[in-house]
Amino acid sequence: MEFRTIKQDGVVEDEIKKSRFICHIKRVTTEEEARDFITSIKKEHHKATHNCSAFIIGEKGEIKRTSDDGEPSGTAGVPMLGVLENHQLTNLCAVVTRYFGGIKLGAGGLIRAYAGSVALAIKEIGVVEIKEQVGLRLQLSYSQYQEYGNFLKAENLTELDSEFTDTVSTSIFVDKNDQSRIENALIEFFNGFSLEKIGEDTLLGFPVRIEMQFHQH
């Protein structure tokens, strides 16, 4: 299982021609969870002019839904969804709350505003790539541990939960499909050490650097 999503839930606000656009964005894994989130935002901002939404669910984005919530058809939910798709994100829901400021934006202006609000939120909050990983627990001698940093650097891995007693116990997480190769590389590198798999497969998030993909005009 591998997919990209937002780093964490968040809220980002922008003002466009005196209208407030507040993008609420949240990780979700089911359509019910997404709809509950949309309902909660609508209750929180019941005095807002509109609460438009878009969500994508599934590792391959199997479920996609949008709502214009009273804005002209195609000017809010669909552009919002387009930004999520352009960033190749899934398992998240975006709700953009609009408080009308008295100046009409027109169809093109609305599309730019709603899409831009989501793009800004993604840029501010950040994106992570979720990968299925396997935890490996290593038991090393202190002389082996002194060389361990070279192995980690070569494989671009991170040391976790190290314990120092008469030996050193430490953990690494590796991509599931890379497990056998890493194990063999460890055995070859150290020429004898204790290794065990820890726990079940774990989903871990790794930061992804993104550039703004939608520009406000």
Residues 34-51: tens digit of each pLDDT = 999 999 999 999 999 999
Q: What gap in Å lies between CA 168 and CA 107, rounded to an integer?
A: 63
Confidence (pLDDT) at 172 = 85
Q: Where are the beta strands (DSSP E) in the chain?
A: 2-6, 10-16, 19-27, 50-57, 63-67, 92-99, 127-140, 160-164, 168-175, 194-208
Confidence check: pLDDT of 92 > 50: yes
Compare 111 and 174 and report the one with higher pLDDT: 111
Residue 54: CB atoms within 10 Å: 29
Residue 170 contacts residue 138 (beta carbons within 8 Å): yes
* Region of residue 197 (phi > 0: left; psi between -120 and 50: alpha; otherwise: beta): beta
Quick one: pLDDT band at residue 197, thresholds 50, 70, 90? low
User: How far from 200 is each of 15, 104, 165, 171, CA to CA, in Å?
Assistant: 46, 54, 26, 14
Both tokens of 146, joined, read 């002194």
Confidence (pLDDT) at 170 = 87
Both tokens of 200, joined, read 């079940």
Quick one: pLDDT band at residue 175, thresholds 50, 70, 90? confident
Please report the domains of the chain, with CATH numbers, ordered by start residue: 2-125 (3.30.230.30), 132-208 (3.30.70.240)
Compare 187 and 18 and report the one with higher pLDDT: 18
Residue 97: CB atoms within 10 Å: 24
